[in-house]
Structure 1
């Protein structure tokens, strides 16, 4: 009989992808206007091998002055996790909440560091409530499966 002890271990944290673009430099660096900042986050999880999962969190930061891009940073931070003997109904929560919460601080540091090294003030990504994001996604999927519209609730 195989050992059924639950296992959750971080195998590795790593920067999977990083991109910095300053398409309108150096002219745009002379602008005196305050730039507009847009931040988008994405998460993904995939099976690498039996009981081994890669979880990625991607941040795309776009700053613009008027209609011109000042700079764009895209960073994808990843973690490899060994997860075994966990009940199936708990796996989605672990992959969507626990793992991203462990990966995200590394992503925040990378984005801030890249902005500073590029000669700009650091962009500090806000804390993210992965639990609330997961619950909202589950609610939307349930509503869609039932043919209705999702019920939006506020989570603080």
Structure 2
């Protein structure tokens, strides 16, 4: 039987899409700070009800080598006692990765760097935070999975609002 080249739905002379290639060249702790307030001040009196907040920020930049990018995920994990608001511990972790990326269109590179790369690094950051809390005498804290797509959308909305506010201020000052 003869094969029909057009049966797959592709146009006969269309260019094949370039395959996306991503390779993690390195992952590393760029900066790490852990403050154990319980050990410094002594255990809180009364009933301890820890409340943990996690803040995440991301940064990415092009490196000097072709197709190489550095992505930094910054985590700030703070545990406070719900009853009196005293800090139990504070972790600040900057976790970096160096990626070799090919085949991503230029207009999609920024979202790729800010979503896919942190998603690949997250399990390692999570383990560092978990091990650090456990090794410091606290129950291990396993960060919930992070929706990096939603985080990216929130940052875009924040920047758009900031830009709209500065445009409004410029219009008022020029009037």
TM-score (normalised: structure 2)? 0.71
Contact 1:28/1:70 (8 A) holds in 2: no
Q: Tell me which moved more, 16-25 or 68-77.
A: 16-25
What is residue 154 of structure 1 aligned with on the other side? none
Superposed, which structure 2 residues align to 1:92-103 within 5 Å?
92-103=110-121
Instruction: Say which one has the larger Rg.
Output: 2
Map Cα deviations across residues 110-131 of structure 1 (whole Å, 9 max, x no partner): 1011000000011121111111
Contact 1:56/1:103 (8 A) holds in 2: no
Contact 2:38/2:44 (8 A) holds in 1: no
What is residue 64 of structure 2 aligned with on the other side? 49
* Counterpart-to-counterpart distance in 1, 2:110 and 2:25: 19
The number of equivalent residue pairs is 146
* Counterpart-to-counterpart distance in 1, 2:52 and 2:19: 46
Structure 2 residue ranges without an equivalent (≥5) = 1-17, 168-175
Map Cα deviations across residues 4-35 of structure 1 (whole Å, 9 max, x no partner): 87542111112222111124535432533212
What is residue 143 of structure 2 aligned with on the other side? 125
Map Cα deviations across residues 25-79 of structure 1 (whole Å, 9 max, x no partner): 3543253321222211111111222321111112111112323221111112111
* Counterpart-to-counterpart distance in 1, 2:20 and 2:53: 40
Is 1:75–2:93 an aligned residue pair? yes
Map Cα deviations across residues 80-128 of structure 1 (whole Å, 9 max, x no partner): 0012353211101210111010011111111011000000011121111
* Counterpart-to-counterpart distance in 1, 2:64 and 2:86: 43
Is 1:108–2:123 an aligned residue pair? no
Superposed, which structure 2 residues align to 1:13-28 within 5 Å?
13-28=27-42
Query: What is the Cα-based RMSD across aligned positions, in Å?
Result: 2.5
More strand by share: 1
* Counterpart-to-counterpart distance in 1, 2:120 and 2:53: 23
Is 1:135–2:149 an aligned residue pair? no
What is residue 86 of structure 1 aligned with on the other side? 104
| Structure 1 pair 28–70 and aligned structure 2 pair: CA distance change class (3 A) | farther
* Counterpart-to-counterpart distance in 1, 2:157 and 2:64: 29
